[in-house]
């Protein structure tokens, strides 16, 4: 459906006419995985109050909810992200939560509240982004809530399943376990640090680097395949996604598991684009890599004896991870670089009131 002029339909019209193309032919779909029979008995196409799943075998249902849109979603406010992009991000953020628990997503419930100023085309773009992300991650947007608000507000609830006893948790890391991460962190945080202050730096980044930073927001990847391997093969003793940044994730696993961590700073992967932004900000690249950033990588611990088998499973699926540290009996997380030992650099996301672009340059906690 295309629009040649701006239109502002009422809520019933938007639900009945603009959303239906994304919700068709859902009811009766087989959404199970890994030998677990699950049927979406009533999908959004049924136009009922709730989605209904028929679960025909013992199965663990994993449910996670996340609100992602606020007045400080700065790259959207700057016009650098589209309505489609933030719809996609909504789905990815919620699906990432169930992926971090080792679950396979079977559906997403979405809340889309919009201001009167958002025309039909803009509204449809948000829904299209949610729909595309669900398609990319192998699941369905099964409806939710749509209506007016004073500004655009997005929230979601992801549903996932896994075999009983296979759920991954933040707790469970043991002294001696190795700490791993599925890829580079800090790209999304670097984008937020760079673009609002772009004109104040001594120079701007090359166009391809700017595109890489924005693309990290436009289609972030929930690590569904990685989570399933870690859960089903019982490799991970603990796991969490890096939606609050790598430093925050390490600290949260540490507290939940009752262990400490030694991080080999030389083994933490740093993206070239993050390194370039850090140079402009005059902060060390590792600090920016570990600071607040919603990269949706998985950080997990694994017993030393299982690392080789885990890597082989990852490699067979075209996946990878980096071993960046070790769990210790002594509490606290410290970075090691040769003989140097220090508190982890960077600033963990703790819902600060300050501008996120300043976070990486704040001093580390003592």
Residue 21's pLDDT band, with cuts at 50, 70 and 90, is confident
Whole-Å CA distances, 169 to 98, 100, 166, 256: 11, 8, 10, 9
- 97 labelled binding-site residue: yes
Distance CA 93, CA 90 (A): 5
Distance CA 203, CA 212 (A): 17
β-bridge partners, 38? 55
Mean pLDDT for 6-23 is: 73
CB-neighbour burial class of residue 9 (10 A; exposed 0-12, middle 13-18, buried 19+): middle
State the first-to-last Cα distance of the chain, in angstroms, to the nearest integer. 55
- 120 labelled binding-site residue: no
Residue 69's pLDDT band, with cuts at 50, 70 and 90, is low
Please check whether residue 224 is in contact with residue 104, taking contact to mean a CB–CB distance below 8 angstroms.
yes
Whole-Å CA distances, 116 to 71, 152, 168: 16, 10, 42
pLDDT digits (tens, 9 = 90+) for 303-325: 999 999 999 999 999 999 999 99
Q: What's phi and psi for 91, nearest 5 deg?
A: -65, -45
Distance CA 131, CA 136 (A): 9
- 145 labelled binding-site residue: yes
pLDDT digits (tens, 9 = 90+) for 148-167: 999 899 999 999 999 888 99
In sign, the C-alpha dihedral spanning 118, 120, 122, 125 is positive
- 243 labelled binding-site residue: yes
Mean pLDDT for 174-178 is: 98
Domain regions of the chain by residue span: 11-162, 178-361
- 217 labelled binding-site residue: no
Mean pLDDT for 119-125 is: 95
Q: What is the mean pLDDT of the chain?
A: 89
Please check whether residue 233 is in contact with residue 308, taking contact to mean a CB–CB distance below 8 angstroms.
no
Distance CA 331, CA 234 (A): 25
Distance CA 181, CA 95 (A): 18
CATH number of 178-361: 3.90.650.10
Query: Of the CATH numbers 3.30.1330.10, 3.40.50.300, 3.90.76.10, 3.20.20.10, which one belongs to the domain with range 11-162?
Result: 3.30.1330.10
- 136 labelled binding-site residue: no
Distance CA 355, CA 357 (A): 5
What is the per-residue burial (b if ≥16 Cβ within 10 Å, else e) of 43-75?
A: bbbbeeeebebeeeeebbebebebebbeeebbb
Distance CA 193, CA 28 (A): 45
- 85 labelled binding-site residue: no
Distance CA 63, CA 160 (A): 6
Among the listed residues 281, 98, 252, the one whose alpha carbon sits nearest the alpha carbon of residue 193: 281
Worst-scoring range by mean pLDDT, 43-47, 55-59, 98-102?
43-47
- 349 labelled binding-site residue: yes
- 244 labelled binding-site residue: yes
Does the pLDDT of residue 366 top 80, yes or no?
no
User: What residues have CB less than 8 Å from 62, skipping those under 6 apart?
Assistant: 98, 101, 103, 159, 160, 161, 162, 167
Task: Return the structure tokens found at 40.
Answer: 């979406």
Contacts of the segment 52-59: beta carbons below 8 A, 24+ positions apart: 53/106, 53/107, 53/159, 55/161, 58/164, 59/161, 59/162, 59/163, 59/164
β-bridge partners, 239? 300
Distance CA 335, CA 344 (A): 5
- 144 labelled binding-site residue: yes
Other CB atoms within a 10 A radius of the CB of residue 337 amount to 12
Residue 23's pLDDT band, with cuts at 50, 70 and 90, is confident
Does the pLDDT of residue 353 top 60, yes or no?
no
Q: Say what the pLDDT of residue 16 is.
A: 67
pLDDT digits (tens, 9 = 90+) for 194-238: 999 999 999 999 999 999 999 999 999 999 999 999 999 999 999
Does the pLDDT of residue 364 top 90, yes or no?
no
Among the listed residues 159, 136, 156, 143, the one whose alpha carbon sits nearest the alpha carbon of residue 38: 159
Residue 180 DSSP SS3: strand
pTM of the model: 0.88
Q: Say what the pLDDT of residue 10 is.
A: 67
């Amino acid at each position: 459906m295309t629009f040649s002029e701006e239109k502002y339909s009422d809520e019933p019209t938007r639900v009945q006419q603009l959303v239906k193309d994304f919700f068709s032919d859902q009811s009766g779909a087989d959404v199970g995985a890994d030998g677990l029979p699950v049927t979406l008995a009533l999908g959004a196409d049924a136009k009922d109050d709730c989605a209904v799943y028929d679960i025909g075998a013992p199965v663990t249902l994993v449910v996670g909810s996340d609100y992602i849109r606020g007045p400080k979603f700065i790259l959207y406010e700057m016009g650098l992200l589209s309505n489609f992009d933030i719809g996609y991000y909504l789905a990815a953020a919620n699906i990432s939560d169930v992926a971090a628990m080792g679950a396979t997503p079977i559906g997403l419930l979405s809340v889309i509240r919009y201001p009167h100023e958002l025309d039909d085309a803009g509204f449809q773009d948000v829904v299209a982004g949610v729909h595309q992300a669900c398609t990319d991650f192998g699941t369905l947007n099964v409806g939710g809530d749509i209506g007016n608000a004073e500004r655009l507000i997005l929230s979601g609830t992801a549903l996932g399943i896994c075999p009983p006893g296979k759920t991954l948790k933040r707790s469970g890391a043991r002294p001696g376990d190795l700490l791993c991460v599925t890829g580079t962190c800090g790209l999304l945080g670097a984008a937020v640090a760079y673009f609002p202050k772009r004109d104040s730096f001594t120079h701007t980044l090359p166009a391809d680097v700017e595109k890489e930073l924005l693309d990290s927001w436009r289609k972030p990847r929930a690590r569904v395949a990685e989570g399933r391997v870690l859960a089903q093969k019982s490799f991970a003793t603990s796991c969490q996604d890096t939606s609050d940044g790598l430093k925050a994730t390490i600290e949260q696993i540490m507290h939940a598991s009752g262990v400490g961590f030694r991080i080999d700073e030389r083994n933490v992967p740093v993206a070239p684009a993050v390194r370039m932004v850090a140079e402009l900000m005059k902060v060390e690249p590792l600090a920016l890599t570990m600071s607040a950033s919603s990269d949706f990588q998985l950080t997990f611990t694994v017993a030393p004896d299982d690392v080789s088998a885990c890597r082989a499973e990852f490699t067979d699926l075209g996946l990878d991870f980096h071993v960046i540290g070790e769990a210790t009996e002594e509490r606290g997380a410290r970075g090691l670089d040769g003989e140097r030992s220090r508190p982890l650099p960077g600033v963990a996301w703790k819902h600060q009131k300050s501008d996120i672009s300043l976070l990486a340059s704040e001093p580390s906690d003592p």
